[in-house]
Amino acid sequence: RKEVEQDPGPFNVPEGATVAFNCTYSNSASQSFFWYRQDCRKEPKLLMSVYSSGNEDGRFTAQLNRASQYISLLIRDSKLSDSATYLCVVNIQTGANNLFFGTGTRLTVIP
Amino acid sequence: EAGVVQSPRYKIIEKKQPVAFWCNPISGHNTLYWYRQNLGQGPELLIRYENEEAVDDSQLPKDRFSAERLKGVDSTLKIQPAELGDSAVYLCASSFRAGGGAFFGQGTRLTVV
């Protein structure tokens, strides 16, 4: 079983729409959580960390549900420039203490 | 401040040839990762260093892959001999501490023909 599971999409949404991605993780010892953004043929870039209380950065809101072991990313008022692949990342501190990546969810914002 | 620097950006080699990738992490970052990413997949960890120590190389195919991080700064990843299935993007990332958000270099796109 993969450490991190994501719906690969693609999600095609019109400009201005609100879109949400979910991600589940399998290891309850997971401690740190992140969302990364990856543009086509580019490296992943850290979008935001995910905190237990939830956190917001402009149009982006991240939520963590430890009981259900899932993480979400909400994008409001989608822009064309939001088109990218969004990667869910989990750090498992017990043992490996590594960052595990999901396969990514592809978003296309349509004019 | 300079980010993670990797070279070369692109490499095309014939199978059975050796290849090496180089990474210079962000200054002061003790943790260094090497990941491999195939098309349509997320990055998969190959090896993680804490300073000069390889603390997790369980996913590194040790029969043909090797890595080093001398002096706990720059790192090299080597494949010898390369196989067709090694074609991928090899990404280096660094973070201030293990478990923190990591920052990636631009990657080396390897094509084995």
* A24-64 confidence digits (pLDDT tens): 999 888 889 999 999 999 999 999 999 888 999 999 999 99
CA–centroid distance for A28 within its chain: 18
pLDDT surpassing 70 at residue A5 = yes
* B18-64 confidence digits (pLDDT tens): 999 999 999 999 999 999 999 999 999 999 999 999 988 988 999 99
Choose the weakest-confidence range: A23-32, A42-51, A75-84, A101-110.
A23-32
Q: Residues of chain B with pLDDT > 70: what percent?
A: 99
Q: B63 Cβ partners below 8 Å, 6+ apart?
A: none
Average confidence score pLDDT of chain A: 92
CA–centroid distance for B64 within its chain: 14
Mean pLDDT computed over B9-18 = 98
pLDDT, position A29: 81
Across the A:B interface, residue pairs with CB atoms under 8 Å apart total 55
Q: How far apart are CA A68 and CA A55, in angstroms?
A: 18
pLDDT band at A95 (very low <50, low <70, confident <90, very high): low
In the three-class reduction of DSSP (H, G, I as helix; E, B as strand; rest coil), residue A21 is classed as strand
pLDDT band at A96 (very low <50, low <70, confident <90, very high): low
Interface of B with A in 87-106 (CB under 8 A): 91, 93, 98-106
Token pair in block for residue B47: 């090896």
pLDDT, position A2: 81
**Cis, bond preceding A10 (omega within 30 deg of 0):** yes
Q: Please state the length of chain A.
A: 111
Residues of B in contact with A44 (CB under 8 A): 43, 91, 104
pLDDT surpassing 80 at residue B99 = no
Among chain A, residues having any CB pair with chain B shorter than 8 Å are 4, 8, 31-32, 34, 42-46, 49, 87, 91, 93, 96-104
- Chain-chain contact of B106 with A42 (C-beta, under 8 angstroms): yes
Q: How far apart are CA B88 and CA B60, in angstroms?
A: 14
Q: Which has more pLDDT, B94 or A94?
A: B94
Of A34, A91, A103, the CB nearest to B42: A103
